Amino acid sequence: MKKTVFAGMVLLFTAAGCQSQDAGSSTETGPVEVEMWSLFSGGDQAYMQSLIDGFNESQKKYEVVMPALSAADDHYTKVVTSVAANRGPDLAVAHASIIPEFYNLGLTKPIDGPAEAAGLNLTEVNENILNRLTMKDGNVHSYPIDTHPTVMFFNKTVLDEAGLLTESGEVDMKETPEGFIDFYKRAQEALPDTIPLAVPSVGYDAFTSWWAFYYQMGGTDIYSDDLQEPTVTLDTETAVEAAEYMKSLFHEEGIIPKNITDPYEQFQTDRALSLMTGVWGTGIWETDESFEFIAQPIPTLFEEPATYGDSHTLFIPEQKSTTDEKTAGAAAFMNYLHENQAQWAKAGHIPANDEAVASEAFQEMPYRSDYADVVEDVEQPSGTIYSNMSIDVMMRNLDEIWAGRVTPEEGIRSMEQELDELVK
């Protein structure tokens, strides 16, 4: 008999252990907890944490908490599944390019109302970005905190050593396709052991560089601007041409060594002269006081200035567990970020709040003002539900071109085909 009772107890405890626990609910007396999930890493994460700390100290009503970060790769999958299961965060970070996809899945709450109630004036946000976040229903579905374009970084010490600085301390490069290559040839001659341009032959940086050249050559948008049923409007000829130029930097010209894995470290330890990457580089390298670098827009080698860029935004998931109270808390935090975007710019980004860009606090920061105007030339992925998925498709196909396994024509054709299949 005793045994039966014991077994029964084991069972009871097991069942109790299986019961779900409601995480993150607020207590009666304390502040309302607003849980935020982010995809930041490194410097970005630290700057965001300090803003959260500032918000929590500035008032007693709400408390924003940011649990341990997840890798950027599965952040979106986690957000989608958890919100669908009504167990998501009250506030989530997402790139502007994925917001149409989330809106289409019914995951985002319009923020116009809550923002207004919190005293956040959305008209102060950069119009271009705000338009991208205004969905079919006429409402804004996410609050942008920045733009992060791809720019160029030069190691000043190495530049100086190679004699590639002008007398006024600027990069001595002629902004033409030949001038660009010539600049790096001179670098190679002066310092044969230094990497002229450090771009990994797989992934994001090379993709964004191709994107910049494609738009500089006058390329059209990848997709038509239809939310659910876009068509592929890629300008094949220009895409091939841009890919040919980019490929020549890896191959014929030998300016970018193949298969480098850690360009940031090589750049910071004077083993690389320059690189092309997101503006977050500024936030990373300026913390090293002995390290001198120049940050500037990607040179306009072709007809018109253009670069790749996206924005970090915050959205409030549409789910039962995000109560009105939590929504108000999330909007209050957005308002705090709005007022303190210059502080977020410490991470290297360009504020999405136009007033923050004009502010003295931002203008006085080194480096940023050298590339803040790039915002006007940023070409973002078109506003369709496929934008984010298509980036993977493009990267993969372009990687094949950089590796020399397919010709630029073959690579672009296969990319176009896959993009076409994606939207079908």
Q: Which residues bind another protein (CB under 8 A)?
A: 3-4, 7-8, 10-11, 14-15, 74, 77, 80-81, 83-84, 105-107, 201-202, 258-262, 389, 392, 396-397, 399-400, 403, 405, 422
SS (H, E, C) 143-188: EECEEEEEEEEEEHHHHHHCCCECCCCCECCCCCHHHHHHHHHHHH
Kindly report the number of other CB atoms within 10 A of residue 179's CB atom: 13
Quick one: 294 or 403, whose CB is closer to another protein? 403
What does the block give as tokens for 127?
A: 């119009």
Gap between the Cα atoms of 265 and 336, Å rounded: 34
Quick one: 24 or 257, whose CB is closer to another protein? 257
Q: At closest approach, how far in Å is the CB of 403 from another protein?
A: 6
Q: At closest approach, how far in Å is the CB of 389 from another protein?
A: 6
Give the closest residue to 247 by CA, choosing from 416, 408, 409, 414: 408
Q: Is 282 helix (H, G, I), strand (E, B) or coil?
A: helix
Q: At closest approach, how far in Å is the CB of 384 from another protein?
A: 14
Q: At closest approach, how far in Å is the CB of 273 from another protein?
A: 16
The CA angle 150-152-154, to the nearest 5 degrees, is 155
Q: At closest approach, how far in Å is the CB of 259 from another protein?
A: 5
Give the closest residue to 62 by CA, choosing from 36, 85, 100, 40: 36
DSSP state of 385: T
Quick one: 129 or 232, whose CB is closer to another protein? 232
The residue to which tokens 């592929």 are assigned: 232
Distances (CA, A) of 142 to 102, 167, 343: 10, 46, 20
Q: At closest approach, how far in Å is the CB of 141 from another protein?
A: 17
Q: Is 300 exposed, middle or buried (0-12, 13-18, 19+ CB in 10 A)?
A: middle
Quick one: 282 or 321, whose CB is closer to another protein? 321
Helix (H) or strand (E) holding 199: none
Q: At closest approach, how far in Å is the CB of 143 from another protein?
A: 23
